[in-house]
Amino acid sequence: MRLVIVTGMSGAGKSTAMKVLEDAGYFCVDNLPIPFVDKFVELTASGNSEITKVALGIDIRSGKLLSDLEQILEHMSIKGLDYEILFLDASDEVLVKRYKETRRMHPLAETGSIAQGITLEREHLMFLKKQADYIIDTSMLLVRELKQELDKIFVQNREFKNLMITVLSFGFKYGIPSDADLVFDVRFLPNPYYYEELRKLTGNDQEIQDFVMGYDMAHVFLDKLDDMVRFLVPNYVLEGKNQLVVAIGCTGGKHRSVTLANKLYERLQHQNEYGVKLDHRDIGKDAARGK
């Protein structure tokens, strides 16, 4: 029997994960009382059970009893009851934003402070995160992208890539992305904006890519950036990092940054050690403002 314990930060996507697993044929039980966990697992793992895949949703709602889970999991391992832990996480800023959007109260926000509740929750769940087989940071993931990641792990049984790299283009005039880990400025490159026939195009268009990459320094920059990212990734993995945002900026986030982000993504996407996604934050903002 395959047993997956689905846990993580409130607001990080646990409900979505449980729905995906249920659709994939898992017998799903959410918020099972902690004292019942080992007995439930023993019953479903017995030869008399027809259940072959189980997902248990466990989180901070278990209250003070959550601390007992660590010992229960240890006893399960001793008995030979195998399990996997899926931990859903997100940055504090993203979690606060999600709570404000849904107007929900955090289960540990006794004083009304969402940030304080998140801090306490991280402390209580740390032992689960340390033992997790899969840690998925949903800060930069759309719901459909989260579903795709879960499908790869629990349906297609593909090897999990514990680090997700987001290559992000942006415009400095709209602000540096708050969640960026590495920020690179490509405003030293000639700007297509000053050419009337190119102004309305973007770095997704071949004409802009030919213009930007027509300069040797663009290729030198790309080579050095690619080399730096590949050097840093293994060290970030050793540190335990599971989300890396590489932000490339130009003035408006439409031409040069989009081109270089596309080129870096093309170089990184075919490796097998980590996941890579591409995002152009500001590519349509000038058009939206009628410029």
pLDDT of residue 290: 47
pLDDT band, residue 62 (cuts 50/70/90): confident
Structure tokens at 40: 């439930």
Among 147-156, 231-240, 266-275, 282-291, the minimum mean pLDDT is found in 282-291
What pLDDT digit, counting tens, does each position of 93-142 carry? 899 888 888 777 777 776 668 888 888 899 999 999 989 989 999 988 88
Q: Which residue, among 173, 190, 167, 178, has the nearest Cα to 248 in the 3D structure? A: 167
> What's residue 287's pLDDT?
57
| Whole-model pTM over 0.85 | no
Q: What is the CATH number of domain 2-154?
A: 3.40.50.300
How many angstroms separate the CA atoms of 77 and 69, rounded? 12
Q: What does the domain layout of the chain look like in residue ranges?
A: 2-154, 164-288
> Distance between CA 235 and CA 15 in Å, rounded?
32
Specify the pairing of strand 53-57 against strand 164-171.
unpaired
Look at residue 123 and give its three-state secondary structure. Answer: helix
Grade residue 180 by pLDDT with cuts at 50, 70 and 90: very high
**Are the CB atoms for 228 and 181 separated by under 8 Å?**
no
Per residue in 272-283, pLDDT tens? 678 889 999 999
